[in-house]
């Protein structure tokens, strides 16, 4: 009987030792490289809470194998009288003071992270937002200002900002909103002291528009560059059209043909081109014009035009319905309607109050 008992003890000890060996071998294969823990709301490793309020930690364990069982951690507060923490990482502020939360990997106790907690008496009672502009264009920005009302000593007035859709508009930690794409977003600012006070404002993002011409006579320096390789008679014809559109028939214009300059009267430009240009010539027409609709007229130039520069703005890839300014494509309309005639744009300018282009 004693021999059997002894044998059983030995067998049990052997089984335990084998079990321990297997467990040790398994844990040895688990490699924890890093533990990080931050405030889930703000992403910060420092948290300032109002007494009685809570914050939740977001903990990340970088480990191989990347399994949930290997990512378990323990939470511990250095001063439970100031702040406590649950096994799920929920911190509760108990009294004014400071504490440190230590987050430790269960698989490797040497891998840990710390979060500083400060408990204050003051609290946020209200958040109000005011947008400098509730409508912005794609690529432009506006600022949303926040008014934070508080009560008590040394309140935490810091806010966290969020956008409902970052594909339409983004917002930074100072409330600066930038338009990305057409649409509407809700910008929210929330208190970070645990009071969860927040406010919202809606921002609309619209396509860029630009007024190409109004009924005025503002001087414009115009440069029209034609596509090289176009037949000279075609260029001559289109140069004549460009001069007419620019209202420069009776003014001096500069013709640049293959890099050489010629000063001529606008009405003589066609003849000069016919005499000097050939199928491979590069041709540029420069004129200063104050003609009504000069800008609109210049944009509505035949497809032989490579680009048009008016003052500091260059238009390229000109078609019957659109053009580019830099890398942005615009579709133009006359008095709100597309005007397309036989592949070219035309309009009764006497009836048009403005030519407007909208970003595609």
Residues 19-59 pLDDT 10s: 333 333 346 689 999 999 999 999 999 999 999 999 999 99
> Per the domain annotation, does 11 fall within a domain?
no
Interatomic CA distance for residues 321 and 98, integer angstroms: 66
Q: Identify the domain boundary among 206, 228, 251.
A: 206
pTM over 0.75: no
Q: Identify the domain boundary among 120, 136, 156.
A: 120
Q: Are 186 and 200 in contact (CB under 8 A)?
A: yes
Residue 114 shares a structural domain with residue 133? no
Residue 114 shares a structural domain with residue 128? no
Strand partners, 59: 37
Element (H, E) at 207: none
* CATH number of the CATH domain containing 80: 2.60.40.1080
Q: Are 149 and 193 in contact (CB under 8 A)?
A: no
Residue 344 shares a structural domain with residue 224? yes
> Per the domain annotation, does 4 fall within a domain?
no
> Per the domain annotation, does 285 fall within a domain?
yes
Residue 257 shares a structural domain with residue 321? yes
Q: Residue 71: its pLDDT value, please?
A: 96
Q: Residue 2: its pLDDT value, please?
A: 42
> Per the domain annotation, does 22 fall within a domain?
no
| 268: phi then psi, degrees, rounded to nearest 5 | -100, 0
Q: What angle do CA 315, 344, 207 make, to 5 degrees?
A: 45
What does the pLDDT look like over 109-146, one tens digit per residue?
999 999 999 999 999 999 999 999 999 999 899 999 99
Residue 255 shares a structural domain with residue 348? yes
> Per the domain annotation, does 25 fall within a domain?
no
> Per the domain annotation, does 23 fall within a domain?
no
Highest mean pLDDT out of 21-35, 66-80, 217-231: 66-80
Residue 258 shares a structural domain with residue 174? no
Q: Identify the domain boundary among 120, 139, 156.
A: 120
> Per the domain annotation, does 26 fall within a domain?
no
Residue 328 shares a structural domain with residue 196? no
Angle formed by the axes of helices 232-245 and 269-276, to 10°?
160
Structural domain for 70, as ranges:
31-120
The total number of structural domains that make up the chain: 3
- For the ranges 28-32, 65-69, 300-304, 329-333, the lowest mean pLDDT is seen at 300-304
Residue 190 shares a structural domain with residue 221? no
Residue 354 shares a structural domain with residue 307? yes
> Per the domain annotation, does 267 fall within a domain?
yes
Residue 272 shares a structural domain with residue 331? yes
Burial of 107 (0-12, 13-18, 19+ CB in 10 A): middle
């Amino acid at each position: 009987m004693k021999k059997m008992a002894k044998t059983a003890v030995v067998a049990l000890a052997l089984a335990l030792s084998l079990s321990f060996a297997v467990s040790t071998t398994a844990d040895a294969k688990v490699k924890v490289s890093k533990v990080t823990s931050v405030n889930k709301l703000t992403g910060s490793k420092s948290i300032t809470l109002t007494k009685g309020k809570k914050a939740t930690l977001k903990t990340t364990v970088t480990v191989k194998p990347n399994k949930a069982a290997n990512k378990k951690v323990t939470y511990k507060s250095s001063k439970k009288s100031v702040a406590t923490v649950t096994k799920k990482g929920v911190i509760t502020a108990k009294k004014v003071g400071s504490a440190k939360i230590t987050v430790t990997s269960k698989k490797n106790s040497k891998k840990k992270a710390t979060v500083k907690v400060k408990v204050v008496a003051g609290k946020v009672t209200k958040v109000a937002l005011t947008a400098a502009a509730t409508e912005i264009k794609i690529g432009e920005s506006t600022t949303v200002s926040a008014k934070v009302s508080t009560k008590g000593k040394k309140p935490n007035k810091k806010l966290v900002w969020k956008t409902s859709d970052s594909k339409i508009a983004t917002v930074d930690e100072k409330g600066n909103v930038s338009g990305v794409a057409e649409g509407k977003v809700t910008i929210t600012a929330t208190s970070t002291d645990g009071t969860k006070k927040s406010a919202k404002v809606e921002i609309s993002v619209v396509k860029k528009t630009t007024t190409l011409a109004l009924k005025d006579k503002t001087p414009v320096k115009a440069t029209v560059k034609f596509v090289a390789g176009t037949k000279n008679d075609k260029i001559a014809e289109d140069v004549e059209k460009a001069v007419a559109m620019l209202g420069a028939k009776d003014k001096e214009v500069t013709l640049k043909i293959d890099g050489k300059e010629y000063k001529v009267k606008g009405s003589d430009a066609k003849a000069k081109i016919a005499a000097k240009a050939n199928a491979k010539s590069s041709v540029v027409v420069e004129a200063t014009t104050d003609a009504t609709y000069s800008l609109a007229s210049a944009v509505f130039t035949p497809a032989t035009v490579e680009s048009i520069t008016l003052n500091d703005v260059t238009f390229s890839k000109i078609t019957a319905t659109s053009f580019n300014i830099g890398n942005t494509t615009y579709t133009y309309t006359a008095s709100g309607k597309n005007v397309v005639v036989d592949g070219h744009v035309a309009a009764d300018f006497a009836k048009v109050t403005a030519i407007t282009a909208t970003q595609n």
